[in-house]
Amino acid sequence: MVFSDKMRDAAYYHYSPSYEYSLGIELVDEKQAMKNHANFRYTYLLNRKNTQNSQRNLYFQSSLSAGGNDEYSYGFLGDWETRRYFIGFGAQELKSNLRDYEKQFVQIGFAPYLGDYGDLHSWLMIKSKHDSRTDKWNTYPTIKFFKGDYLLEFGVDENDEPDIHFMIRF
């Protein structure tokens, strides 16, 4: 997965030995601090409920930075989705010798049409992010496309900064 916003560019590669957890490495370019470092990430599925028409997930997520300053983070991610609607949220505590801060987000979306398996799928979404360093909520529309093994999510936040996620499933 490749991610880019005002604060950072990141490329994340992860391996999931089972659907219950994944191990990954994230290469991060902190734009404002002008430094590069790697994060080792661990994600664990705490709860999943499958129904005929929906899936609900709750994940624990943590990371440990190799960039010094004893940086680490932990938090939760959750989502509920049907083929038509999506609701997601996340909360993360980030700790280091330099500064502790928190990040949260919520996201809702809907699919304007229901494509068949293999079609181009599109989601129209609203995302709201909060960073305790600025203590502001930043709310903006995003659009998500996926087809086959490729997923692209794109948005531009209130500061006209792009928020981009690109994911490939191997």
Residue 117 or 135 with smaller CB distance to other proteins: 117
Among 13, 21, 146, 166, binds other proteins (CB under 8 A): 146
- Segment (H or E) for 65: strand 55-65
Beta strands in the chain, from DSSP E residues, in sequence order: 2-4, 8-18, 21-30, 35-50, 55-65, 72-81, 85-95, 101-110, 121-131, 136-147, 150-156, 162-168
149 binds other proteins (CB under 8 A): yes
Among 55, 69, 99, 100, binds other proteins (CB under 8 A): 55
Mask for 25-44, x = binds other proteins (CB under 8 A): --------------------
140 binds other proteins (CB under 8 A): yes
Residue 106 or 164 with smaller CB distance to other proteins: 164
46 binds other proteins (CB under 8 A): no
Closest distance between other proteins and the C-beta of residue 141, in Å? 5
